[in-house]
Amino acid sequence: MSELRGIHTLWKREVKRFFRERTRFIASFVQPLLWLTIFGAGLGSAVHATLGFSYQEFIFPGIIGQTLLFTSMFMGISVIWDRQFGFLKEILVAPISRISIFIGKMLGVSTDSMIQGMIVLMLGPLIGVKITLVMVAEIIPIMFLITLSTVCIGLILASYMNSLESYGTIMTFVNLPMFLLSGALFPVNNLPPWLQWAVYINPLTYGVDAMRTIILGSAYVSPTPIYVDLVILLIFDVIFILAGTYAFSLRK
Amino acid sequence: MNMIETTNLTKKFGNLTAVDSVNIDVEQGTIFGLLGPNGAGKSTIISMLCTILKPTSGTALVNGYDIIKQSAMVRKSIGIVFQDPSVDDRLTGKENLEMHADLYGVPESEKRSQIEKMLDLVELSDRSNDFVRNYSSGMRRRLEIARSLVHTPRVLFLDEPTIGLDPQSRDHIWSYIRELMKTEDLTIVLTTHYMEEADKLCDKIAIVDHGQIVALDTPHSLKEKLGGETITVKTQNNLLYMEKIKEAGIAKNTIIAGGEVKITVDRAHTILSQVVDTASKNGIVIESISLQEPQLDDVFLHYTGRGLRESGGKELSGMGAIRRRQIK
């Protein structure tokens, strides 16, 4: 009971801090909008494929995935902030287990990412993607599965870093490959074999594919059935949550 | 009854022995001071008592609970104010305390009244809904003290509670601590390298150096052990005056330093008249006279062989802390 209360209060803190950061909040949906409109329209006009959907529609689920990934990774930095500003100490000496601390933080950051993802999802109609309520209901759980993995990756990296600068550098090295090799912007089944493995070990690949299956419907021929996507995502989540809990319990 | 008892508490970091077989007892309802230069091991002792660090060997009881085997119970029994700031400056003062209450499982029914009471104590009630980033460093410190008390701990650890604060804020914090001792059933352990702070607040002081306790007593007895007070007299004929004082046999020690005669005596207040008489009887004109009780600085110097002020690193980390507060 007291552990649950601890998790709740840690979650609440993350979400409160998130909403108070207005500039980042605004910037965070401007960026996906730029990708969708400028990049999507620009490259879309050069790509002439007759697939039953536009290039913008094709990258739309990818941009949702990107938003989830970037927000999760960015919010992982809060662990370093907390350590540098001493607040982590206050949490670490509280009579609450490390597992609860990790779960509270994870759920908090996940909520932040989910909110960002939802905002991008609502941008869909602007670029001509039809969003139905059923779609929203189906996509939310997928977003949640993606977020858990990406948040844990961010928190694990952050728990091993001591400075904001080094986390920033590492973040770029993780963010871009994960984003580019997830099928967010182009189909990944024609990539050279040496790049294929990177696609397969990327949780985002399965998340983007699952969302695309739902958003584009029957026009989209998915390389993997949606239930396979979801099972693999779930396995990734379990692995990363365990790894994250372990990383947190080691750090002083 | 002892609130804290340590038995051969030891902490090693590699080859370095930071804390070396420390045995201290802290009586309930007292303020216990750990005094020492930087790197003496004060913070390490506190960290072990707070269950942040595991001792290499030895153990301790806090509020009757073993710090190794019953760390969860120890954590519920204690409140901590860290040396470096540890409040979330993007939350309001009140939110910081609410979060603390939730983390420590303060019953919902007591939560609000307890938070209000503590905000009141540190005079932050009217600013409780402001973001902490708009607080001064003194206010942040006060907030941290309030926070550490929200879950009504039995023992309060204050690690350099007034470091980097201006004298006025320091005075405030001292008065809160005294107020607390009157109203709450509390035992306080504080580390400091301000002699004045230890002298004014503590019932007992342990002087820590190189991880060991080199002296442990009340501030009064520590000073007394040094041997007496000093009467400093400036006359027009210091040499003659020193002779006469020695002849009178009232002083333990008499020297001339810096153009003044320094007379060490046991009870300065009763001997003072004799000191003046000796001068007037011999026709020596006194230009100035002053009386000085031994300072804890002297005690510290006596036991560790160096003055506290020589260790400037702490101040630096204090300044660093302030700067960090300002960075946001």
From residue B252, give the alpha-carbon distance in Å to each of A211, B219, B223: 91, 22, 16
Nearest beta carbon to residue B102 from set A9, A20, A86: A9
d(CA B116, CA B180): 15
Per-residue pLDDT tens digits for B266-294: 777 788 888 888 888 888 888 888 888 77
Tell me which chain B residue has its CA closest to the CA of residue A83.
B86
A13 touches chain B (CB under 8 A): yes
**Span B232-256, pLDDT tens digits:** 888 888 888 888 888 888 787 787 8
Distances (CA, A) of B58 to A159, B8, B19, B313: 30, 5, 11, 29
Q: Which of B88, B95, B105 sits opposite A87 (nearest CB)?
A: B88
Mutate to test the interface with B, among A93, A101, A251 (most CBs of B within 10 A): A93
pLDDT, averaged across chain A: 89
More confidently predicted of B182 and A232: A232
Q: Which of A3-17, A135-149, B180-194 comes out lowest in average pLDDT?
A: B180-194
Q: What percent of chain B has pLDDT over 70?
A: 92
Report the residue of chain B nearest A20, measured CA to CA.
Answer: B90
Q: How far is CA A117 from the centre of its chain?
A: 8
Q: Helix (H, G, I), strand (E, B), or coil: what is residue A131?
A: coil
Chain B residues in contact with A3 by the CB 8 A cut-off are none
Alpha-carbon distance A12 to nearest alpha carbon in chain B (angstroms): 9
Helices (H), A124-192: 133-160, 164-180
**Are B147 and B96 contacting, i.e. CB atoms less than 8 angstroms apart?**
yes
Q: What is the mean pLDDT of residues A198-222?
A: 89
Judge whether B51 is closer than 8 Å to chain A, CB to CB: yes
Three-state DSSP state, A234: helix
Residues B153-166 pLDDT 10s: 999 999 988 887 88
Q: Give A118's pLDDT tier (boundaries 50, 70, 90).
A: very high
Give the pLDDT confidence of A66-114 residue by residue, as tens digits.
999 999 998 888 888 888 888 888 998 899 988 999 999 999 999 999 9
Contacts of B89 in chain A (CB under 8 A): 85
Report the pLDDT value the prediction gives residue B308, as an integer from 0 to 100: 56
Q: How many CB atoms lie within 10 A of CB B137?
A: 18
Give the DSSP letter of residue B19.
E
pLDDT at B92: 95
The whole-angstrom distance between B228's CA and the closest CA on chain A is 44
Whether A90 contacts chain B with CB within 8 A: yes
At B317, is the pLDDT very low, low, confident or very high (cuts 50, 70, 90)? very low
Tracing tokens 């001997």 back to the chain, one arrives at: B271
Residue of chain B whose alpha carbon sits nearest to that of A100 = B103
In the predicted structure, residue B57 carries a pLDDT above the cut 70: yes
Q: Which of A147-151, A191-195, B253-257 has the lowest mean pLDDT?
A: B253-257
B145 part of contact set with chain A, CB < 8 Å: no
Average pLDDT in chain B: 84
Position B326 pLDDT exceeds 50: no
Which residues of chain B are within 8 Å of residue A17 when distances are taken between CB atoms? 88, 90-91
Which residues touch B136 (CB under 8 Å, ≥6 apart)?
Answer: B169
Give yes or no for a contact between B130 and B92, defined as CB atoms under 8 angstroms apart. Answer: yes
Q: Phi then psi for B263, rounded to 5 degrees?
A: -115, 120
Hey, is the C-beta of A16 within 8 angstroms of any chain B C-beta? yes
Any B CB within 8 A of A23 CB: no
Q: How many CA atoms lie within 13 A of A125 on its CB side?
A: 8
Residue B321 scores a pLDDT above 80: no
Give the pLDDT confidence score for residue A136 in this predicted structure.
92
Tell which residue, A164, A75, A77, has the closest CA to residue A115: A75
Q: Contact, A6 vs A94, CB < 8 A?
A: yes
The ipTM, to two decimals, is 0.86
